A and B are shown apart, each in its own frame.
Chain A
């Protein structure tokens, strides 16, 4: 955790540190994140990366599952359009992201909890920025307990 993000005035819960899941493509963003690491860039440590071959593999359910299992925020990141390792995976993903992003707001899930980004293999600094921005934004929004608390029926016949 960098000094910049350790501001007790931010966030509703003093000491609340968000859990962030990141679904990233292997060829661009994962490599970019690796570069950020080897370059010893400092960034928030709240993110857990899940590596996929391509953003086209991302099923919107991954994000929903992340929220069900305790994530407060999610990052989804892949290759820039025209740079997809599999040619068109990110174009298909872009359409899915579009539907997802516009739809979840309708369900009442704040889209600010999710960051979509294109981060290439050489953009280590961009990855660090995406991580820091997302972490600080989600820290402000607070824990996503309203999602996690959706278990069980209120009572039979509710």
Chain B
């Protein structure tokens, strides 16, 4: 950590305004009015009044701001036998996230590993490099959060350029990276000396509460999954699953994609990269008609294996940051913390 400073709530909003005025995109949790209700979600803000802090986990993750649900990568025009390809220029707008949940910031750092593994994914890193993240430690986690079980915490600084800890009068700002320091330098009047600003006791209470939600043994689960491809638990775990992929959409660490060429006329079209999910039947459907993951039991097995065995085997960390969104959104009532607890128990046998 490079530096500890203090920023008041009004200064943080003023910072947001300065960024907006400079043409930087500001992303933050907002209270979004919906046709049938409202919810907290990350969104691009137009005004600093929209920012809401210390609320429950937002409905969406930060994934869509780094890896949009659809992004055009090139377009083509065909003239007789000649095909002309045109690369789509990347959006150069810098982004600052104010109030990221630590699970969401950490998720980006976790996915960075695979995005730089056998191929440096420029689409991902272009956006990543343009994005500065101010994480805000959580005090409002609920019974489904389990970040502590996967090695994180409501005040984790993983993936954050600046970590904000709520205090009585504002936020303690812990500058973690060069990017964070650059932001502070550019807006130095907003960041004051720390003095004696202590994080709220609610933070410690939150950590205890989240820790109590789930205790799991990642290493043991990894071992169980490694040997358990044919385990009988796969016969019943996926029964309620509809294969809707809702879990993958809201998950901050799921990153599978599909590349499609979509015609937009007889002789032109666009190549796009779209979100995809291993939970759908056609994800592994071969052209021959054969499907190696022929039913939902296999697909649920794949999801758990990828997150808690395959990824840790390659990158020494699980592909999950404990945000709990999958459990909240599942129409079939599947609950990942419950599953992980069950796997821990089974691994102990």
Cβ B68 vs Cβ A153 within 8 A: yes
Task: Tell me which of B25, B42, B68, B72 has the highest count of chain A C-beta atoms within 10 A of its own C-beta.
Answer: B68
Q: Is B69 an interface residue (CB 8 A)?
A: yes
Do most interface residues of chain A lie in helix, strand or loop, or is the interface mixed? loop
Q: Is B124 an interface residue (CB 8 A)?
A: no
Question: 5 A-B residue contacts at CB 8 Å?
Answer: A69-B264, A69-B265, A156-B64, A157-B44, A157-B60
Instruction: Give, as a whole number of angstroms, the nearest-CB distance from A117 to chain B.
Output: 28
Cβ A157 vs Cβ B43 within 8 A: yes
Q: Is A152 an interface residue (CB 8 A)?
A: yes
Task: Give the interface residue-count category, chain A.
Answer: under 10
Q: Is B47 an interface residue (CB 8 A)?
A: no
Cβ B72 vs Cβ A158 within 8 A: no
Cβ B70 vs Cβ A157 within 8 A: no
A152 to B68, CA, bound (A): 11
For B264-289 the 0/1 string (1 means CB < 8 A from A) is 11000000000000000000000000
Within 8 A of A (CB), among B61-117: 64-65, 68-72, 91
For A47-64 the 0/1 string (1 means CB < 8 A from B) is 000000000000000000
Cβ A157 vs Cβ B64 within 8 A: yes
Set B42, B91, B264: member contacting A157, Cβ < 8 A: B42
On B, residues with C-beta under 8 Å from A are 25, 27, 42-44, 60, 64-65, 68-72, 91, 264-265
B44 to chain A: which residues have CB within 8 Å?
155, 157-158
Set A69, A151, A157: member contacting B27, Cβ < 8 A: A157
Cβ A153 vs Cβ B72 within 8 A: no
Instruction: Give, as a whole number of angstroms, the nearest-CB distance from A114 to chain B.
Output: 22
Pairs A-B, 9 closest by C-beta atoms: A156-B68, A157-B64, A157-B65, A156-B65, A156-B64, A157-B44, A157-B43, A155-B44, A157-B27
Instruction: Give, as a whole number of angstroms, the nearest-CB distance from B87 to chain A.
Output: 16
On A, residues with C-beta under 8 Å from B are 69, 151-153, 155-158
Set B25, B60, B70, B264: member contacting A153, Cβ < 8 A: B70
A33 to B64, CA, bound (A): 51
A152 to B69, CA, bound (A): 11
A157 to chain B: which residues have CB within 8 Å?
27, 42-44, 60, 64-65, 68
Task: Tell me which of A151, A153, A156 has the highest count of chain B C-beta atoms within 10 A of its own C-beta.
Answer: A156
B25 to chain A: which residues have CB within 8 Å?
155
A69 to chain B: which residues have CB within 8 Å?
264-265
A155 to B26, CA, bound (A): 12
Cβ A153 vs Cβ B265 within 8 A: no
A153 to chain B: which residues have CB within 8 Å?
68-70
